Structure 1
Amino acid sequence: CYTVFERRICFTSCMKTGGVNIKIICLSLGFCSDGWTPFKQSCYKISKESKTWSAAQQNCGLFASGAHLVDIRSEEEHRFLTAYLQSFSQVIMFWTGLNDIKVSALYFS
């Protein structure tokens, strides 16, 4: 069972900028702010703070308006994230948006 040692990947869509004055925000031009990595029309950010899943999900929204834990929706995105994570030598575990809040003890292989 994982507790507070996981990392998180925050994700925000480039199409949702909202005009909020936040230091890290993904612009509608497809440009990601410093600290964010672009892929397609999205931006990704790794936070190295250890948090529980709930705290990580909530904290992603503090990075940029509309940001949330990543939901991997395609094989292409999965390949991108795998390569992206391999560039970090100290990333061991991380959170995604996947959870078992509604159905406890649901596992995927």
Structure 2
Amino acid sequence: MTTEITYAEVRFKNEAQSLDTPSQTPAAPKEKTSPPQSNSGYLKLLLAALLILLLLTILFLITFIGKSWSCCPKNWKPFGSNCYFFSSDARNWTDSKKRCSGMQAHLLVVDSKEEQDFINKNVNKKIAYYLGLSDLKNGHWEWVNETPYNQSATFWHPGEPSNGNEHCVMLNFRNQKWGWNDIPCHDPQYSICEMLKIYL
């Protein structure tokens, strides 16, 4: 009797897990992580940026307000960086000067043709007005605020100044134009006061 031997090829997969647990994919190796960093560096940078922005805003507001929010007192007229008050009564030159000083101002000091033109447009042709110009101290023309007298920037009427005994200056209208004229300081005249604009 012959015996038959049958060979069967059986292959087994090598699985590390047992059959009763669900199959899982092998976990990827964990990366090394550094401990969470503090946000203090970021916060410092943010605070510095905010502080710079705040300072720039304040500087902008100061500049903007300084230029845009200037004003003159009631009944004063603005021109350039100054305010002008045209009196409504006549006084001598010394009293006119005191009145301007009492208002934290001074008698008009003319610095330019533009300023003189502005004044000419705002005065009454029938009235004369004291300016802040005299030669009372030393015989030389001087402005009340000590601005140097500039002969080339004057607006005298032709032939003026005309009298060595007339030590104060007024603005008046004659021969169809405005101009300066020297007169005695005790004569009562209207006056023009000048002050810097008020900046808020």
Is it true that 1:79 corresponds to 2:114 in the alignment?
A: no
2:81 match: 41
Is it true that 1:55 corresponds to 2:91 in the alignment?
A: no
User: What number of residue pairs does the alignment pair up?
Assistant: 77
Q: Could you report, residue by residue, the CA deviation over 1:81-109 in whole angstroms, capped at 9, with x for unpaired residues?
A: 00111xx46x5111000112121727977
Q: Could you report, residue by residue, the CA deviation over 1:53-81 in whole angstroms, capped at 9, with x for unpaired residues?
A: 01100111222x2x000011101001100
Across the aligned residues of Structure 1 and Structure 2, the Cα RMSD in angstroms comes to 2.6
Matched residue of 2:134: which SS?
A: coil
1:93 match: 128
The letter for the 2-side match of 1:56 is: S
Q: Which runs of 4+ in 1 moved over 4 A?
A: 106-109
Query: Which whole-Å CA distance do the structure 1 matches of 2:88 and 2:100 have between them?
Result: 12
Query: Which whole-Å CA distance do the structure 2 matches of 1:42 and 1:61 have between them?
Result: 15
- TM-score, reference length from structure 2: 0.35
Percent identity between the aligned chains? 27
Select the structure with the greater relative contact order (CA < 8 A; seq sep ≥ 6). Answer: 1
Query: Which whole-Å CA distance do the structure 1 matches of 2:114 and 2:70 have between them?
Result: 18
Matched residue of 1:97: which SS?
A: strand
1:9 match: none
Match of 1:70 among 103, 108, 116: 108
Query: Which whole-Å CA distance do the structure 2 matches of 1:30 and 1:38 have between them?
Result: 10
How much has 1:30 moved relative to structure 2?
A: 2.2
Q: Is the 8 A contact 1:30 1:42 kept in 2?
A: no
Query: How do residues 8-23 of structure 1 correspond to structure 2 at under 5 angstroms?
Result: none
Extract unaligned runs of 5+ from structure 2.
Answer: 1-67, 141-163, 170-179, 182-200
2:139 match: 103
Q: Is the 8 A contact 1:69 1:96 kept in 2?
A: yes
Extract unaligned runs of 5+ from structure 1.
Answer: 1-27
How much has 1:29 moved relative to structure 2?
A: 3.6
Q: Of Structure 1 and Structure 2, which has the larger fraction of its residues in helix?
A: 2
